[in-house]
Amino acid sequence: MQATQGAVNLWPLIGVAVIIAGFILRQNPVMVVIIAAVVTGLTAAMPIDKILISLGTGFVKTRNLPLILLLPLGVIGLLERYGLKEQAQRIIAKIKSATAGRLLMVYLFVRELTAGLGLVSLGGHPQMVRPLIAPMAEGATENRYGSIPDQLLYKIRAMAAATDNVGLFFGEDIFVAFGAIVLMQTILRGYSIEVNPLHMALWGIPTAISAFTIHAFRLRRLDVEIERELGFQKTAETVVTEAFTGEKA
């Protein structure tokens, strides 16, 4: 809106505050979004009937979205029920040199590479991290040290989820048809600045490499932490076993 047309109305931004407050208070997400939409419409001086029409139109356009999301979750649930997690742990246990950090480094590289090619759906928390990557990282740790304390187990799972986030976020910036690149090009074009989308994508490569290096260092520290905590525990158990049996484990 131009300055000559009057000041910009910022009151509709209250809808954002409603969403933040609703999620902080852990209210029903659907109800929070509906209330935020109504508040935004009212503060923007929209008639009630137009607000309801907009909500109905949005619902009709996205009514097939729950089906698209729930079908893959159902398939993954069936695979887990019939031993997908156990099979993943069994496979990784056969690789003696595997550790949680090394496994997640490999996944980070693959995730960044595929996201850079535009294949962002090949990974993800529900379809890849929870049923495969996290169990494999847990299996690699259990294969080396035995049982894992809950606190460390949750940290391994959190790092598996973080690895997927980092790989996707910094990998997709390299893809020339990524929405953010198209958006930046459109905005710059509005200011008479012409930028080649390919050049913008290529400048995302140094950032992706830096993100990989930094997160790989964090994964290396995860291995060190696991070794420090569980390695000491395993050594203590071995000493106790030898003391009672008189034989070396």
For residue 3, the model assigns a pLDDT of: 44
Asked whether the predicted pLDDT for residue 64 surpasses 70, the reply is no
Categorise residue 82: left if φ over 0, alpha if ψ from -120 to 50, beta otherwise.
Answer: alpha
Q: How far is CA 195 from the centre of its chain?
A: 30
State how far the alpha carbon of 57 is from the alpha carbons of 36, 51, 54, 63, 198, in Å: 16, 10, 5, 10, 36
Instruction: Please tell me the distance from the alpha carbon of residue 231 to that of residue 66, in angstroms, as a whole number.
Output: 45
Q: Can you say whether residue 45 is alpha, beta or left, with left for phi > 0 and alpha for psi between -120 and 50 degrees?
A: left
How would residue 154 be classed by pLDDT, with cut points 50, 70 and 90? very high
This prediction's pTM: 0.67
Determine the pLDDT at residue 173.
86
- Is the pLDDT at 70 greater than 80? The verdict is no
C-beta atoms surrounding 13 within 10 Å:
11
pLDDT band at 1 (very low <50, low <70, confident <90, very high): very low
Question: Which residues, other chains included, contact 157 with Cβ-Cβ below 8 Å and sequence gap of 6+?
Answer: 134, 137, 138
Over the stretch 171-193, which tens digit does the pLDDT of each residue have? Answer: 998 888 777 777 778 888 887 88
Q: Please, are residues 145 and 233 in contact by the beta-carbon 8 Å criterion?
A: yes
Q: For residues 105 and 222, what is the distance between their CA atoms, to the nearest angstrom?
A: 11
Residue with tokens 């071995």: 238
DSSP letter at 127 equals I
Q: What is the reported pLDDT for 232?
A: 64
The model's confidence at residue 59, banded by pLDDT at 50, 70 and 90, is confident
> Residue range 26-43: average pLDDT?
87
Q: What pLDDT sits at residue 103? A: 94
Q: Read off the pLDDT of residues 126-145 as tens digits, 9 standing for 90 and up.
A: 888 988 899 999 989 988 88
Stretch 12-19: mean pLDDT: 87
Please provide the average confidence, as pLDDT, over all residues in the chain. Answer: 83
Q: Is the pLDDT of residue 247 over 60?
A: no
pLDDT at 113: 94
